[in-house]
Structure 1
């Protein structure tokens, strides 16, 4: 494994000049997103995991976009990635969540080179999908020393995307610093058993289930370190991928609301018009939902631009204990938490309003309209806003700066219940 990123980073300005524009990216990937949208409702109703759709994203080069041009990627801007993730979520919100660890941790390696970064970016550029196994179930597991090296045994839950991945990074313990000790292992390697037992009310096709590791070999060259300045921003990066998914969900809900009203013939005797499409009350409901969807998208756009700036600033720093870094981290957490919490509120509002545009027929299971609210609800609950807003409020009131390790510490087993 190469220990530096000289090849990938020496021509940064040249790579940026080769970056495709956002319009070019949209033109390239909208046919892909359209193909993914086709059959999304049927997959939801039949609970068919989107293996083909993930592969379509790989084959089209979508999963490689963050990698340097020299490694097969496009080195696209952070803000452009989030624009595309919103559009992907409109097509199928399961896909951004399936790939959230892939995109978030790749972002970290772009801005914070470490020994494994060169390997990671080459894998991403070659079309490999990388997932996570971070949350312990029933205990953190154990590392055992054998004649051939260390092996890990343990069980992880909420292993989102693991069934679709080529590589998985797993937490195998805690370092002396209190930060998680992580290794990257092959998803189809000996001893890795991925189980599709996710039974949440929404985001049902993300395969966010259990992964069991039985004496899985740990490669000492594939230790994943997130104690770098940019690495500690992985939590905001992950959080905002979920926000992008919620913004896409809100837009999809508005699309379905407008379609439903446009073709609906039945209404009520006390309605304001003969057809729902001409009823000012119904029009106002759809308009209000659109307002929430618009606000969610704009918040994600601004937040992504902010995150890009924070990552770039962090990449120029070396000391995570310096006042400069603490201020940067505080600004990043405050801005991203505030935006993400607001996105959740707007997405839930937009998806709930969908049920106000019709009577019982809007509730029919075959329409699948409920999936929008369920999916938005799961993403909102996955990152409870009140915890994040408390951090913001405590800082604004008392000047208490957030601690980076509190956002990336290993999750305790009892927290998975």
Structure 2
């Protein structure tokens, strides 16, 4: 007997606030040829994403069409190794791409972060058969989201989500939060632990029975990331899609540094956008202070000095970001305790400067542009809201400690996904 189930009935069965996933493109994604093409594509996409970014922030519209363009462009497969059909580009270039995109819309830049980090993790821990399967998905344009973090546990590394063995698949149960990208993903990697307490990525179909993504992200910044709640209620995941994440931290690897450098690149992009909008507003809309004796705000000597200071600090942050990318590339090519620690230290230094300049640029914007810049019609506060929200990832006060302890005492950074 055939039973017809209407779309309306299926939708009514979802938890309140649950959102269905996106469809996959019928066309395979582009494969980027080289560094220069990756940068050109990123700049072209950024120009398109910049239009409408403020309105998306204001209204809460999710960047669905923009993400389709981003993932189909080939930039979501740039760290798929050449041996598996990908471009195999450097992490130096990957960080530049994320910074360029994030200067246009940092929510879109952040959504790509976990996808690219998962690609890196698969390259580190999966066997050749699993790599071929999952990298093939990425090259077709499939987007990974994430269901990593949990609310209510004592530490970020504590996970209550578990899976049980069920033959050719596992059954996963738990609840996640801060699930950046899951709302608009095709596959959702879930961090779940086995009976031995080891962490795995159980990569589930976005619309798998029992998997619900709730659109309840309410932060004042990074609004377009839709980093809400994921409910995981006996979700079946084939063992072909069960990735041993724990192996990435069993021996030296650059996996943690790769996740971190993408965070730093998003912050560099936010800083660039805030500084660019400061310069534009001062040139075109701001008035000079009455004591300056100038006809244009852009000729005010104190404004000139402040813009010079921010420009230097941004360039320093971008230089450290590039240096960190080179260190990661060296660690990926030859991973050992020393090369991985060098990558971690370089990324920590970049994280400090990108955080500080993003916050400084977003705040100084209003000091230099004046009261008019606070009007809602300009929505310039989005830069500060985005910077303040995103820079809360992996606090920089601990990055100072990591760098200082290594310089003073020769102590390598802690080895985990947040370092």
After TM superposition, is the score higher than 0.5? yes
For 2:340 and 2:74, the matched residues in 1 are separated by 32
> Is the CA contact 2:352–2:396 (under 8 Å) kept in the aligned structure 1?
yes
Secondary structure of 2:398's counterpart equals: helix
Task: Give the deviation of 1:147 after TM superposition.
Answer: 8.1
> Is the CA contact 2:84–2:132 (under 8 Å) kept in the aligned structure 1?
no
Mark the CA change 1:263 to 1:216 in structure 2 (over 3 Å): closer, same or farther. Answer: same
Task: Give the deviation of 1:72 after TM superposition.
Answer: 5.4
Tell me which residue corresponds to 1:81: 94
> Is the CA contact 2:171–2:234 (under 8 Å) kept in the aligned structure 1?
yes
Q: Which residue, out of 129, 136, 157, partners 2:143? A: 129
Task: Give the deviation of 1:232 after TM superposition.
Answer: 4.1
Indicate yes or no: 2:231 matched with 1:212: yes
Mark the CA change 1:392 to 1:129 in structure 2 (over 3 Å): closer, same or farther. Answer: same
Secondary structure of 1:130's counterpart equals: coil
Tell me which residue corresponds to 1:275: 296
Tell me which residue corresponds to 1:248: 269
Tell me which residue corresponds to 1:7: none
Gaps of 5+ in 2: 1-30, 154-159
> Is the CA contact 1:129–1:165 (under 8 Å) kept in the aligned structure 2?
yes
Gaps of 5+ in 1: 1-17, 315-324, 410-417
For 1:86 and 1:146, the matched residues in 2 are separated by 42
Tell me which residue corresponds to 2:392: 381
> Is the CA contact 1:141–1:172 (under 8 Å) kept in the aligned structure 2?
yes
Q: Which residue, out of 213, 227, 233, partners 1:194? A: 213
Q: Residues 285-310 of structure 1: CA distance to partner in whole angstroms, max 9, x if unpaired?
A: 22222222212211111111111111
For 1:71 and 1:331, the matched residues in 2 are separated by 28
Q: Which residue, out of 73, 96, 113, partners 2:109? A: 96
Q: Which residue, out of 259, 274, 280, partners 1:238? A: 259
Secondary structure of 2:293's counterpart equals: coil
Tell me which residue corresponds to 1:49: 62
Indicate yes or no: 2:380 matched with 1:361: no
Q: Residues 95-137 of structure 1: CA distance to partner in whole angstroms, max 9, x if unpaired?
A: 1210101112212334555252222211111100012111123
Task: Give the deviation of 1:386 after TM superposition.
Answer: 1.4
Q: RMSD between aligned alpha carbons? A: 2.5
Q: How does 1:330-409 map to 2 (within 5 A)?
A: 330-404=341-415, 406-407=416-417
Q: TM-score, normalised by structure 1?
A: 0.84
Mark the CA change 1:261 to 1:326 in structure 2 (over 3 Å): closer, same or farther. Answer: same
Q: Which residue, out of 182, 189, 192, partners 2:201? A: 182
For 1:274 and 1:298, the matched residues in 2 are separated by 35
Aligned residues: 380
> Is the CA contact 2:289–2:300 (under 8 Å) kept in the aligned structure 1?
no
Q: Which residue, out of 61, 72, 75, partners 1:62? A: 75
Q: Which residue, out of 122, 130, 134, partners 1:109? A: 122
Q: Residues 358-380 of structure 1: CA distance to partner in whole angstroms, max 9, x if unpaired?
A: 22111112212111122122222
Secondary structure of 1:198's counterpart equals: coil
For 2:152 and 2:40, the matched residues in 1 are separated by 47
> Is the CA contact 1:162–1:187 (under 8 Å) kept in the aligned structure 2?
yes
Q: TM-score, normalised by structure 2?
A: 0.83
Q: Which residue, out of 188, 209, 216, partners 1:168? A: 188
Q: Which residue, out of 135, 139, 152, partners 2:172? A: 152
Secondary structure of 1:181's counterpart equals: strand
